[in-house]
């Protein structure tokens, strides 16, 4: 309903066209019996208005009497043309109804996909550390497709079937109340049987979606880790694991679709049973001389009921499909209900720049209530200073950097920029003044120019080139086949590690940030690449505030302030010389070669 509300007018138009299509179908059915009655009259006088007639039947009867005046042969020709016109109108309005609902379905799927994509962008980074990426991709591929086919498609069929059944049933009541009540007494039996078939569809469909997500996860892991799989000769193991999962998925999928497909033939058989019941009961009413129904009306009744069987089958199939799609709908709903990154506070202001200092006061942070990651952090980073964070893995270095970026909110304590609490600043404006150069550089599958200008899309060609020069990247870029327009492949696969890192640095240079965060920016590079990247970083650091997370002694030693973290606490602060003279944890890291030269 949330996604359909903007398209209420089109949905109403769809219902209107369905009504017109059904009306012309009923006109076709009524015309046959009435025309035969008038064309081949009995010796008795034909009553002007038979008992149980309808306004539609009366109008048609007047038309047929006019046609008969032309003679039987001409009347048959005109009648055939009339039937052709009725069928044409029925199909035209049926087509128009499908046009309207197809637009609604396409736009609802578009809106849902956009909403889910926006949700991905709004999720906290911690979510992606605890959930499979394949499961997330499955929601965009399998769940949305299943939602469109099983839920939207079935709701479309359900609406059409309900409208058709209501109109047909109203006409059946108008022709014969007694016979229609007999039909309604038989319908609960049909509904009970169909309900029994589709009872387990919801649970089985939920399991099917979970197995589909697991298959997507295996595929994603295989593609990303293919080099490791080949290196460790684990191809047979990976293939066997995937085939087993695929086989389990196929068995459950077959079971689910077998149950769905069973609904149609069963409803068809039960519908025919109802037709036979109508023939027996209705014939007894006609033979018994019941004044409520005449032979010609009984023929119209039978034809009307036969026309009602397809929408009745569509109704049962739609209900089964909706139960099948219920699982994916709930998965999508749960995903959309996930908690997002903390929203900006009301009245949040833009950050205009870093003029004095960044202060961290008595900061505590925990991902879960029982596991605190950072405890009572107090730190001041003056403008233009280079601060290095060192410590063993898991000491909280990257978490502290993430807090500065606004990826998380402190549990208690505060971060201030020039005296303004971080929580009072708009997150987007904050991040426009911060650039990150990470150990695992991510580049987009696009051109070199696109990757450097990412985040500053209005940058000129000259600005892009200048940023590349500062990052020591211009020379190797010009040696590429198409220079700055050269595609670099998925995640920059066509470039070396050092080249990827220098493009990442050029991206940061172009942003011209006030605060630069370097997270193990050179730890994964060989000696030659590291030397080139280090020169790039020296150019980038000029006049900027920098927070460096590093394991290289040469990088750490040049910092104006070194902060040693251990177990989420700051245990030492000072320059390289001061900390060595102190002989504490930093000195121990240097002696044990934990900090490498």
Phi, psi of 376 (to 5 degrees): 50, 60
Decide which of 250 and 44 is more confident.
250
What pLDDT, on a 0 to 100 scale, did the predictor assign at position 100? 92
Q: Tell me: the pLDDT tens digits for 79-133? A: 778 778 888 999 999 999 999 999 998 899 889 888 888 888 888 877 777 777 7
Q: Tell me: the pLDDT tens digits for 556-587? A: 888 889 999 998 999 999 998 999 888 888 88
Q: Tell me: the pLDDT tens digits for 191-223? A: 676 666 655 666 676 677 777 777 777 777 777
User: What b/e readout covers 395-422, taking b as 16+ CB neighbours within 10 angstroms?
Assistant: bbbbbbbbbbbbbbebeebebbbeeeeb
Q: How many CB atoms lie within 10 A of CB 345?
A: 12
Which own/partner pairs from 478-487 qualify as long-range (CB within 8 Å, at least 24 positions apart)?
Answer: 480/448, 482/447, 483/448, 484/447, 484/448, 484/449, 484/452, 485/447, 485/448, 485/449, 486/447, 486/448, 487/445, 487/446, 487/447
CA–CA separation, 505 and 441 (whole Å): 10
Phi, psi of 341 (to 5 degrees): -55, 150
| Average pLDDT for 513-532 | 74
- CA 420 to chain CA centroid, Å, is 38
| Contacts of 539 by beta carbon, 8 Å cutoff, 6+ apart | 470, 471, 472, 509
CATH number for the domain whose boundaries are 5-336: 1.20.1560.10
Q: Tell me: the pLDDT tens digits for 244-297? A: 888 888 888 888 777 777 766 776 777 777 778 888 888 887 777 665 677 777
33 pLDDT tier (thresholds 50, 70, 90) = low
What pLDDT, on a 0 to 100 scale, did the predictor assign at position 97? 92
Which residues does residue 565 pair with via DSSP β-bridges, in sequence order?
A: 570
CA–CA separation, 143 and 148 (whole Å): 9
What pLDDT, on a 0 to 100 scale, did the predictor assign at position 412? 92
Q: Tell me: the pLDDT tens digits for 229-244? A: 776 677 888 888 888 8
Decide which of 292 and 535 is more confident.
535
What pLDDT, on a 0 to 100 scale, did the predictor assign at position 378? 93
In this prediction the pTM is 0.69
Which stretch of DSSP H or E encloses residue 343?
none
Q: Tell me: the pLDDT tens digits for 365-399? A: 988 777 888 999 999 999 989 999 988 888 888 88
| Average pLDDT for 321-326 | 76
| Contacts of 319 by beta carbon, 8 Å cutoff, 6+ apart | 154, 158, 194, 198
Closest CA to 526 of 556, 505, 500: 500
Which own/partner pairs from 82-90 qualify as long-range (CB within 8 Å, at least 24 positions apart)?
Answer: 82/31, 83/28, 83/31, 86/24, 86/27, 86/28, 86/31, 87/24, 87/28, 89/20, 89/24, 90/21, 90/24, 90/25, 90/28
For residues 39 and 68, the answer to whether their CB atoms sit within 8 Å is: yes
For residues 154 and 162, the answer to whether their CB atoms sit within 8 Å is: no
Write out the two tokens for 556: 């750490």
| Average pLDDT for 491-508 | 85
Write out the two tokens for 47: 């009553």
Which stretch of DSSP H or E encloses residue 361?
strand 357-368
What pLDDT, on a 0 to 100 scale, did the predictor assign at position 593? 61
User: What b/e readout covers 530-542, taking b as 16+ CB neighbours within 10 angstroms?
Assistant: bebbbebbeebbe
Q: Is the pLDDT of residue 410 over 60?
A: yes
3 state DSSP class of 373: strand
Which stretch of DSSP H or E encloses residue 370?
none
Q: How many CB atoms lie within 10 A of CB 123?
A: 17
Which residues does residue 437 pair with via DSSP β-bridges, in sequence order?
A: 518
């Amino acid at each position: 309903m949330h996604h359909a509300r903007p398209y209420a007018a089109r949905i109403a138009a769809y219902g209107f066209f369905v009504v017109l299509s059904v009306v012309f179908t009923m006109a076709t059915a009524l015309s046959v019996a009435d025309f035969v009655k008038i064309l081949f009259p009995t010796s008795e006088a034909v009553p002007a208005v038979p008992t149980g007639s309808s306004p539609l039947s009366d109008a048609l009867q007047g038309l047929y009497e006019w046609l008969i005046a032309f003679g039987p042969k001409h009347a048959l020709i005109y009648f055939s043309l009339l039937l052709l016109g009725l069928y044409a109108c029925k199909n035209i309005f049926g087509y128009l109804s499908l046009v309207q609902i197809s637009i609604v379905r396409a736009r609802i799927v578009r809106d849902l996909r956009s909403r889910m994509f926006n949700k991905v962008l709004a999720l906290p980074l911690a979510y992606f550390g605890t959930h499979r990426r394949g499961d997330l991709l499955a929601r965009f591929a399998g769940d949305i497709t299943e939602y469109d086919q099983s839920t939207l498609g079935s709701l479309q069929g359900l609406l059409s079937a309900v409208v058709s059944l209501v109109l047909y049933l109203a006409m059946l009541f108008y022709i014969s109340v007694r016979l229609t009540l007999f039909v309604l007494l038989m319908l609960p039996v049909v509904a009970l049987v169909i309900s029994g078939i589709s009872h387990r569809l919801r649970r089985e469909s939920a399991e099917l979606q979970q197995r589909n997500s697991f298959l997507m996860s295996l595929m994603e892991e295989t593609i990303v880790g293919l080099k490791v799989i080949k290196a460790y000769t684990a191809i047979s193991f990976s293939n066997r694991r995937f085939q087993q999962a695929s086989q389990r998925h196929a068995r459950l999928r077959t079971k689910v679709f077998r149950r769905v497909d069973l609904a149609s033939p069963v409803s068809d058989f039960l519908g025919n049973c109802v037709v036979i019941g109508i023939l027996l009961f209705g014939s007894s009413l006609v033979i018994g001389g019941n004044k409520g129904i005449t032979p010609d009306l009984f023929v119209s009744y039978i034809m009307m009921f036969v026309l009602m069987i397809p929408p009745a089958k569509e109704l049962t199939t739609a209900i089964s499909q909706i139960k099948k799609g219920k699982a994916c709908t709930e998965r999508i709903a749960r995903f959309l209900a996930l908690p997002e990154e903390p929203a900006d506070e009301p009245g949040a202001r833009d950050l205009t720049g870093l003029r004095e200092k960044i202060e961290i006061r008595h900061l505590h942070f925990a991902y879960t209530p029982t596991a605190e990651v950072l405890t009572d952090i107090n730190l001041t980073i003056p403008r233009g200073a280079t601060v290095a964070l060192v410590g063993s893995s898991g000491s909280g270095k990257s978490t502290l950097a993430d807090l500065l970026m606004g990826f998380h909110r402190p549990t208690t304590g505060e971060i201030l920029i020039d005296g303004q609490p971080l929580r009072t600043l708009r997150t987007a404006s904050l991040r426009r003044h911060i650039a990150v150069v990470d150990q695992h550089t991510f580049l987009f599958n696009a051109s070199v120019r696109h990757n450097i200008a990412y985040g500053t899309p209005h940058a000129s060609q000259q600005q892009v080139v200048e940023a590349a020069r500062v990052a020591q990247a211009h020379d190797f870029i010009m040696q590429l086949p198409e220079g700055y327009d050269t595609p670099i492949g998925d995640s920059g696969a066509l470039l070396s590690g050092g080249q990827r890192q220098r493009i990442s640095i050029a991206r940061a240079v172009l942003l011209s940030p006030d605060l630069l965060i370097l997270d193990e920016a050179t730890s994964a590079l060989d000696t030659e690449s590291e030397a080139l990247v280090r020169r790039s970083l020296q150019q980038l650091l000029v006049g900027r505030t920098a927070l460096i997370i590093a394991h290289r002694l040469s990088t750490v030693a040049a910092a104006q302030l070194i902060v040693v973290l251990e177990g989420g606490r700051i245990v030492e602060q000072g320059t390289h010389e001061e900390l060595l003279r102190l002989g504490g944890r930093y000195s121990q890291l240097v002696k044990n070669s934990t900090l490498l030269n």
